[in-house]
Chains A and B, each alone.
Chain A
Amino acid sequence: MKLDIAISGIGVVGGFGCGRQALASALRSGKSPRSKASFMTPDGPAELPAYLADTAQLERFVPKRELRRIDHFSRMAMLGSFLALEDGGMLDADRSRLGVVIATGYGATRTTFSFLDSVISGGDALASPTHFSSSVHNAAAAHTSILLKATGPSLTVSQFEMSVPSALLTACLWLEEERVDAVLFGGVDECGELLHYCWQRFIPGTGADQPMCPLDFEHQSAVAGEGAAFLLLTRAAGAAAPYGRICQVQQGNVVGGALELPGDAVLFLGADGHRECGAAYREFSGAASLSAYTPLYGSLPVGPAFDLAVAALSCREDQLFPAPCGGSRSLGTQPEALAGRSICCLKFGTEGDFGLIRVEK
C-alpha cells in the first residue's frame, strides 16, 4: 500500500538526552552517554550499563502536582508527546481531532513489578489500585490523552519488537481514512530492576562496558536502553513535509515470501547487538548503503521508533548522519548527501517477523 503521511514534528528522549537537538548532536558526534543501572539480585547488588532517560524537562509542560501519580514509563511518553507537538508548532492547536497511537514492547515494567510487590509484601488485600491502573498497558496513552485533552481515538499496541511497525500501520490508516487530522505516534519502553535481572539471566556474561557493534552479527554487544520517540504525523496531501514522508509501512513474515527492498534505498537496520537476532539481518549486509544507529539509544523493543526519528532528521537536513562506532559498513565518518534516496528502517522480530518503514524526502 502506497502511503503519503507527513512527519511534522519529532519528540525524543533517551540515553542521548532530551529533544531533537540532543538526538542531532548525538548523531553528529556518534556518541551517547551511558549510565549504570543498579539492581538487586539474589546474589547481591548488581550493575549493568544502560542508556537511561531523564524526564525532568516534563515540568516545562506539566505542573508537578499533575504528575504525582504518573510513573516513569508514562512520563517518558508524555515528554515525547509534548516535544513532538512543540516541534511541530502544534502545542497550542486544537486537539479534538488528534489521535494518539503508542507502541510498547513490554509496557510499564517497573510499575507492574511494584504492583506485584504490593501483593507479595502485603498480601492480596494490600494490592495497590494506583499501581494496578498505571500498570495497564494503555496507561501512558491515557495519561497523554488526558493531559493533552486529545479527544480523538487512542490506541496502544504491544507486539514485542514488531510494536512500532504494527502500531504505525494503524496510525497511518487513521489518517488515510480521515478519522483524525493528526496522530501523535510514538514508541516507549523502560528499563527496570526486573528487566535488568532477566537480561543478566538470559544473556550470561553480559555487563562488560563495551561498545555496541550492531553490524558485527556474530558478537553479543547489546546494551539495554529506554526512552520514548514520538512523531507528529499528518496527511501530506501535497503539502510540505519538513521531516519527510512515510510512504510505506509493511509488516510480515519472511516465511510468507521474501522481503523486497527498493534497490536504491538506504537501509537503517534495527540490529541492536543481540547475536540471536543478528542472523536475520546478515543477508542485508551487502546493501549499498547501510547503517545502524542503535549504539546511540540502546537495545529496546521500540527501537524502530528511534530509527524513524533519525530518518526524519536525515530528510530534514537532506543528509545521512555518520553511523556511530560499529554501526556502519558503507557510510563514512562524515555526513553524506541523501541525494534523493529513500530510507528503509528494517526491524526483525522473532521467528522471521519483520517490519519495514520507508521514508522519503
Chain B
Amino acid sequence: MTTKDKLKNILIEELNIEDITAAEIGDDEPLFGEGLGLDSLDAVELVVLVQKHFGIEIKDMEEGRAALQSIATLAAYIDERHTA
C-alpha cells in the first residue's frame, strides 16, 4: 500500500470519518477548512498518528502546517524522511 493510501485509511479509521471512503479522498484535497473539514484538534491528532504509524516526528506546528496541507503533501513529508 502506498503512503497516501495508508494515510487515507488512517484518516477514516482513527479520525472516525465514517461517511466517506478512502477512494473519495482526493490526494490534493485540503485536509482542513473547506476540504475534508478537519480542524486544529485533528491536526495535533494527525501529528500523533504519523508518529505512531510511520515513526516520524513532526516537531512543531510551523513544520506541521506545511506538511498537513493535503494527503499528497503529508505523504511526501513522510516518504522524504523514510528514504533519508
Say if the two chains contact directly (CB < 8 Å).
Answer: yes
Chain A positions within 8 Å of B, measured between CB atoms, are 64-65, 68-69, 122, 125-130, 133
Contacts of B45 in A (CB 8 A): 128-130
Establish whether residues B51 and A133, one from each chain, have CB atoms under 8 Å apart when the complex forms.
no
Task: Output the nearest chain A residue to B37 by Cβ-Cβ distance.
Answer: A65
In the complex, the answer to whether A133 meets B41 with C-beta atoms within 8 Å is yes
Q: Please, how many angstroms separate the alpha-carbon atoms of A130 and B39 in the complex?
A: 11
A129 near B48: Cβ-Cβ < 8 Å: yes
When distances are taken between beta carbons in the complex, the residues of chain A under 8 Å from B17 are 65, 68
Contacts of B41 on A, CB cut-off 8 Å?
A: 69, 129-130, 133
Q: Is the CB of B48 within 8 A of A127?
A: yes
CB distance from A74 to the nearest CB of B (A): 14
- Cβ–Cβ contact B48 & A68, under 8 A: no
Interface size on B, residues (CB 8 A): 14
The answer to whether B18 has its CB under 8 Å from any CB of chain A is yes
Residues of A within 8 Å of B18, CB to CB, are 64, 68
Distance in Å from the Cβ of A218 to the closest Cβ of chain B? Answer: 47
Alpha-carbon distance A333/B16, docked complex (angstroms): 48
Among residues of B, the one whose C-beta sits closest to the C-beta of A67 is: B16
Confirm or deny: B19 has a beta carbon within 8 angstroms of a beta carbon on chain A: yes
User: Mind listing 13 A-B residue pairs with CB under 8 Å?
Assistant: A65-B17, A68-B16, A68-B17, A69-B15, A69-B16, A125-B51, A125-B57, A127-B48, A128-B48, A129-B41, A129-B44, A129-B45, A130-B42
Residue of B17, B19, B45, B51 most packed against chain A (CB within 10 A): B45
Task: A69 to B18: give the CA distance in the assembly, Å.
Answer: 11
Chain B 39-58 near chain A by CB (<8 Å), digits 1 or 0: 00110110010011000010
